[in-house]
Amino acid sequence: MNKKLLKNLDWGVLICTVLLLAIGLVALFSTTKNTDYEEFKKQLQWFAISIPFLIMFTVIDYNKITKFSPLAYGVFTFLLIIVLFTDEINGARSWFSIGSFSFQPSEFGKIALILFLAYTLNILQARNKKEINKPLKLLLFLIIVAVPIGLIAIEPDLGTAAVYISITLFIIFTSGINKKYIFATIILVGLLVPVIYHNLPSHALSRIEIFLHPETDPRGAGYNIIQSKLAIGAGQIFGMGFLQGNQTQLGYLHPKTTDFIFAAIGEEMGFVMAASIIVIYVILITKIIYIAKTAKDNVGSYIAIGIAGVFFFHMIENIGMTMGVLPITGVPLPFVSYGGSSLLTDFICIGIILNISARRQKAIFME
């Protein structure tokens, strides 16, 4: 990467990433104290694995990477079909396990989908951005999105499916879509919500009911959310102290390294650190949106805004569910929660964002 590209690189994005990772590692060190720091050590290993991918996706021109997106989308769709025939893990068929190594294809699929949507939109809008409003072209776009969302919902992994919907919404709203389609979608969703609710699988209905009334099953399905809220509340302003959280260290908070890592941070490091995490995410997402606006082409804009959609949904959903204001879906907190495939995916996303920022033209904004 030459000096000109390095000059345009948005170092603020990298700083936010490092801060979130550092906070996550400190929290994982604390939450894995009673398990010989096993997951903390694995997270360090995945961090080391992620660095070369971060560099690679930063250096190689994103337009060259995007050319391989049809192949990546095809492979990822194939894996989503194959994974449906694997054994259930935590009630879902969403993991491939090879010895001690395991991964979720839906994690890496986020990147494949974003790149392929950007690639497809660029072709569909070769003449004009308004081309997306032609029914057949819009239908093609929606089919591309519907296939992975449908397969992931079958696993079932409704949390990840919701992430894909977030990606779609962020990209479609910046694609020049006619407002009539937006209003029609809002009306259609409003009409379908009661139908969808009454046809949800039992486990999904249970999560919604527990979200609304966790006290109805305090020792069963409502246990985790109750303990999470207790942990956050116990932390008060400055926290109970590192390695000193009652819910965290005595095993009441579960799973404390993944879904409820934010609650563990709130308990031991308090409101100050919990609020700082939210501020860092807001800065990071804002910077990514700005990079989308200043990208040199529509492909870069669509990729960046899609990645913003990923981080936005993960932040809102994970933090919201630990505080009891959103249903529990098992969506991790980027760079903070334990998880190898999710950490690698997040770093690849950051690499692509740095790539786009390095090649942007700051004076040019999206139409």
Residue 110 lies in a domain: yes
Residue 231 lies in a domain: yes
Q: How far apart are CA 309 and CA 296, in angstroms?
A: 20
**Total domain count, the chain:** 1
Residue 363 lies in a domain: no
Q: What is the pTM of this model?
A: 0.92
Q: What interhelical angle do 105-124 and 298-322 show, nearest 10?
A: 140
pLDDT at 240: 95
> Is 222:291 a contact under the CB 8 Å cutoff?
no
Tokens found for residue 354: 């740095």
Residue 97 lies in a domain: yes
Residue 367 lies in a domain: no
Whether 43 has a pLDDT exceeding 50, the answer reads yes
pLDDT at 366: 37
Q: Over the stretch 250-269, which tens digit does the pLDDT of each residue have?
A: 889 988 999 999 999 999 99
Name which of 256, 268, 270, 267 is nearest 333 in CA terms: 256
Report residue 362's pLDDT band, with 50, 70 and 90 as the boundaries: low
Whether 339 has a pLDDT exceeding 50, the answer reads yes
Whether 361 has a pLDDT exceeding 90, the answer reads no
Residue 56 lies in a domain: yes
Q: CA distances (Å), 156 to each of 61, 81, 90, 104, 110, in order?
A: 35, 12, 10, 13, 16
Query: Could you report how far apart the first and last alpha carbons of the chain are, in Å?
Result: 28
> Is 132:299 a contact under the CB 8 Å cutoff?
no
CB atoms within 10 A of CB 188: 10
Residue 289 lies in a domain: yes
Q: Over the stretch 107-118, which tens digit does the pLDDT of each residue have?
A: 999 999 999 999
Name which of 140, 139, 171 is nearest 300 in CA terms: 171
Residue 232 lies in a domain: yes
Write out the residue range of the structural domain in which residue 156 sits: 3-358
What 3-state DSSP class applies to 128? coil
> Is 335:27 a contact under the CB 8 Å cutoff?
no
List of long-range contacts for 73-78, beta carbons under 8 Å, 24+ apart: 73/112, 73/113, 73/115, 73/116, 73/144, 75/112, 76/105, 76/108, 76/109, 76/112, 76/113, 76/148, 77/147, 77/148, 77/151
